[in-house]
Amino acid sequence: MTAFHRPFAGLGERLGVTPDEGASAPSPPPDQRPAAPASGPVLSRAVVRIERRGRGGKEVTVVERLELPPVERERWLTALKAALGCGGVVEGDALVLQGDHRGRLPTILAARGVKKVTVAR
């Protein structure tokens, strides 16, 4: 492949990086990995449901019964928003995520340490 197709090919030489050193990208820090398992206690249950009332017809996915302390709720919300690519907010004891994520959330929650995920249809 010519340098025309690789616009940043000469950049490594200027920075003093050999091709072997720059071949693999560094992994993100652990706090930025959205689907990483929870380091705290294993949670026993979560209920995932969809809601439209009072939201102008927009769908939101509600995650309830996680029994997390308020600080952990914020951390979980941040991680779930990053993993799903959506917005969200903490409302009381529930995590509210914009959009319908009932299909993807059970696997993400299981990876974070939730033993039983109930999806209400």
- Per-residue pLDDT of 77-92, as tens digits, reads 999 999 999 999 999 9
CA 42 to chain centre: 18
pLDDT tens per residue across span 9-53? 777 777 776 665 545 555 555 444 445 444 555 678 999 999 998
As a whole number, mean pLDDT of residues 3-8 equals 66
Question: How far, CA to CA in Å, does 41 sit from each of 23, 54, 86, 111, 115?
Answer: 37, 34, 26, 13, 11
Single pTM value for the model = 0.65
CATH no. for 42-119: 3.30.780.10
